[in-house]
Structure 1
Amino acid sequence: MSQHEDLKHETTHEAAERGHAATDVYGHSLIEFDPKREARLRMKIDLMIVPTVAALYLFCFIDRANIGNAKLAGLEKDLHLLGYDYNAVLSIFYISYIVCEIPANMCCKWIGPGWFIPATSLGFGICSLGTAFVHSKSAIMGVRFMLGVFEAGMLPGIAYYLSRWYRRSELAFRLSLYIVMAPLAGAFGGLLASGILKLSHFGSLHQWRMIFAIEGIITCALSVIAFFTLTDRPATAKWLTQEERDLAIARVKSERVAQTEVLDKMDKKKVLRGIFSPGTLGTAFIFLLNNITVQGLAFFAPTIVATIYPKATVISQQLHTVPPYVVGAFFTVLLPFISWRLDQRLILFIASAPLVMIGYIMFLASKEPMTRYGATFLIASGAFSFGALTNAQVSANVVSDTARAAAIGTNVMFGNIGGLISTWSFLPFDKPDYHIGNGLNLATSSTILLLSISLLLWMKMDNKKREGKNVDAELAGKSVLEVQDLDWKHPGFRWRP
């Protein structure tokens, strides 16, 4: 009996413990899993892991985007922000956010997400609280810069963390369960801000300052709780039995061609494989274009609503920002759920882009307030699901844990370059119609459609080329480490669109 045939009879405990790869050289799993046991384990992980990271990410996004609500409540006037000062305040956040993105995710792997995610959450909670006490443009820019440093590790860190627990096909839907907090933050943030503004004061603080103080305190409290509740990885999960821990490890390992361990040691080759994979770079550029829309909507939705309903009260304007986000949240979960069932992501990129395109065409073609307000629903429906789908896509198209951390960090870094662009897409001189911002977003959504179709066709063509390779001949003479370092260049690897 061959070694590969021997391995087919391993238990999940042996597969988890021994230094064997859990796939053959062609990337086929050597272990058969019981679907019912997997389903029970998956539900247990869902209930223990997802709620904590979702709550943290909700307040991560609220702490970032609440400046839009504060602007409506008098922030610009009190801090004497003129002309493009508000755009500059938004931009400074993205500079530190972008620079720290990949280093933060490498730190997350090095320290362990169970410690890193609560620590960085506490950091941005403190920064949000600090924003309540600023009195000048330079002070708010300094606090926003530090907010970017601490928030940089959140989106990629949680995506990387969940990739330790879930299979490739399952990941997009689980990512959506915390990324849905972004549109919900838009909805909940608007409700929370309008509620806070009804208070006469909070300590010595008044008006917009109360928004930052109260929301920052909530974030800090959630972060402290997370230090005690967030389990670093399956092997350390005390709420799983030994058999369940072994199954959790073996499931993830069974999809990683040539890898003998789930959590490998960092090495330069794998980091570079993750960053410079064609699948990573193509998907990351799509996320960059998408994030111009998503972040622009988060920062400027209250402003757009104010131009549509100029005579409404500030609280009414805040509440009008809520319904589009609720609809967007529904699609943020629906599309990744479909992705889980189909084990496909690129076809959902292709299906989502036209919704955004139609929304911006409506906004540009009509000055009717209700038509424009309706357009925001379509835009939110098509745009918000890309956060989960693109991170799942780059995760599915690398092999090692190190390459995965680097790929997700790269994807989110590119996405936040889009966020930086978005801060300059809706400019004061362009209101109330914002032809530049809306035209730019129509162009980006159209480009997403073309790029997604191109990436899908390229992956299918490259997979056909790989079918003709002699895997054993190409791997002959290579050490185990050299084979592992090939990552997506391994001849048995196939792109997963």
Structure 2
Amino acid sequence: MSGIEQQQTIDEKKIGVTPEGNQINDEAIKDDGELEQTIDPKKEKLLLAKLDLLFTPVIMLVYLSCFLDRTNIGNVKVAGMPEDIGASDQQFSTAVSIFYATYVTFETPFAIMLKKVTPRVLLTGLCIVWSLTTIFSGFIHNVGGLYTSRLILGACEAGLFPSLTIYLSMVYRREEQARRIAYLFSCAALSGAFGGLLAYAILQMDGVAGYAGWRWVYIIEGIFSIAIAVLVWYGLPTDPALHPWLTAEQQQMMKIRQQQTAAYMGSDEFKWEEIKIAFKDPKLYLSGGIQFCQDILLYGFSTFLPAILKSSGYDRLQSNLLTIPVYIVGAAIFIVAAVFSDRFMLRSPFILVANIFGIAGYIVLLTVSNDTTKFAATFLCAVAVYIGPGVNITWLSVNVAPHYRRAASIGLQQTIANTAGIVAGQIYRKSPYKLGHGFSLGALCLSQLLIVAKMIYIKWWNVRKDKIARGAIEDTRNVKTGDRELDFRYHM
């Protein structure tokens, strides 16, 4: 039996799906202990389509607005914002980096608080505050105002990505998550494309009502985010199984799916012991190291791509417009990769291959002087920029259980990783950005080594569990619950 087949067999025993994936176990357990016919595969397929229709647009839009409000600082930079508020290159770089000081501080607490506060209240509240902050950013007149707005944005947006990732795990099974996280993460790319197009259009308002074009970028994008907050309130119920637009039969199907994945989701009861187990897990720190390296690319590329293109000879409007095809290609390739990642329940090979494209792209940016060739190289970079961090967060999410252990792991992983935003703001200081490109290239190479190390560690655990189950070796596990159970198969 191959590794993939063995993995499927063990996972499917746990969730009640046959290896062929075409039917479910004959029975499921109801709350009252009675037995009930489980989900018809055709009905479940329709249910998944409806879940995607109900949840995916809301999750994508809120993350799009979040990333738009975070990275528009790159669009306004080329539109003259630093000069208008008297910010030097160093002060502007500090403004980019300071965002992550509060961002990394609040990620883990917000992830752990999600169930207690409820997704609806937490996500809507955060969205409203960062939207208002973005609007007020259009009225700043000095560096102090810029610093303040970035710190508030960082604190509010800190809770979003970990919370959305955890929310997806409440809706979808392990083998269904990479594609949905890809939808979420592709918004980082789409925000660049949409942000570039929107900035290009809004900058035409330069001088309207006496305001510079960059001020209108902040004001209009902030108003857009306020509208998204209303959508979040109504679109993300605390219990996804009770979404009002699901029929009674579909709500029952959701309950059965929750029962089938109970070992993965775990108890709703908070226990500090689960947090301690998460913080002692080597998977977390290997994943955090990988994510840090990949986020060097993500934050450097998404924030400074307009400036990178401007340094290649394009004017301020062209440099925003030309980001659009780069981001769209990156998002499209990412979604395709995620579909196959779910199909084969493999994660690491996709990151490894994507990073090879990124390595080639940064080498070209560092060594070639032709502007057209350098523009083409940004497409290669985009492959690694989005597939790397997106699939890596999935790789961690599907390999940690139960809920609070996973919440703590995702929160701390993002805390470790997003310190990369501080670094990105410092390495992309001055055209032609040789330091930034060189540092990004080095981060990719280090990421490759960490990915291989994590693959070896996970393989060791899967083999160890098999040997314990067969009685070939003594069971010396200190933790035997959640993802450390013998029938919990780690995805490679």
TM-score, scaled relative to structure 2: 0.89
Is the 2:350–2:387 Cα contact (8 Å) retained in structure 1? no
Paired position in structure 2 for 1:63: 69
1:232 and 2:227 aligned: no
SS in 2 for 1:118: helix
Structure-2 separation of matches of 1:37 and 1:474: 43
1:409 pairs, out of 392, 408, 411, with 411
Offset of 1:398 from its aligned partner? 1.2
* RMSD of aligned residue pairs (Cα, Å): 2.8
Offset of 1:268 from its aligned partner? 0.7
Structure-1 separation of matches of 2:319 and 2:271: 51
**CA deviation vs aligned residue, 1:371-426 (integer Å, no higher than 9, x gap):** 11111110001220233312211111112111121122122222211122111111
Structure-2 separation of matches of 1:236 and 1:471: 41
Paired position in structure 1 for 2:289: 285
1:367 pairs, out of 361, 366, 369, with 369
Pairwise mapping of residues 246-395 of structure 1 onto structure 2 (< 5 A)?
Answer: 246-257=252-263, 262-309=266-313, 312-395=314-397
Q: Which runs of 5+ in 2 are unaligned?
A: 1-12, 17-23
Amino acid at match of 2:304: F
Offset of 1:181 from its aligned partner? 0.9
Offset of 1:202 from its aligned partner? 5.2
Structure-2 separation of matches of 1:19 and 1:303: 62
Amino acid at match of 1:134: I
1:167 and 2:173 aligned: yes
Offset of 1:271 from its aligned partner? 2.0
Offset of 1:86 from its aligned partner? 0.6
Offset of 1:318 from its aligned partner? 1.3
Structure-2 separation of matches of 1:404 and 1:329: 26
1:49 and 2:55 aligned: yes
1:486 pairs, out of 468, 481, 484, with 481
Amino acid at match of 2:92: Y
SS in 2 for 1:73: coil
Number of residue pairs matched by the alignment: 470
Is the 1:355–1:379 Cα contact (8 Å) retained in structure 2? yes
Offset of 1:67 from its aligned partner? 0.6
Structure-2 separation of matches of 1:343 and 1:382: 20
CA 1:233–1:449: 2 relative to 1, 3 Å: same
Structure-2 separation of matches of 1:276 and 1:54: 32
**CA deviation vs aligned residue, 1:61-82 (integer Å, no higher than 9, x gap):** 1100001111111111011111
**CA deviation vs aligned residue, 1:333-358 (integer Å, no higher than 9, x gap):** 11111111111111111111101100
**CA deviation vs aligned residue, 1:225-272 (integer Å, no higher than 9, x gap):** 321232222342222233322322332442454x7x755211111123
Structure-2 separation of matches of 1:246 and 1:405: 26
SS in 2 for 1:496: coil
Q: Which runs of 5+ in 1 are unaligned?
A: 23-29
Amino acid at match of 1:240: L
Question: Which is further off, 183-192 or 458-467?
Answer: 458-467
Identity, % of aligned positions: 28
Is the 1:273–1:487 Cα contact (8 Å) retained in structure 2? no
Paired position in structure 1 for 2:426: 424
**CA deviation vs aligned residue, 1:254-312 (integer Å, no higher than 9, x gap):** 2454x7x7552111111233343222221221111000011101111111101112xx4
Structure-1 separation of matches of 2:301 and 2:108: 25
1:143 and 2:149 aligned: yes
SS in 1 for 2:171: coil
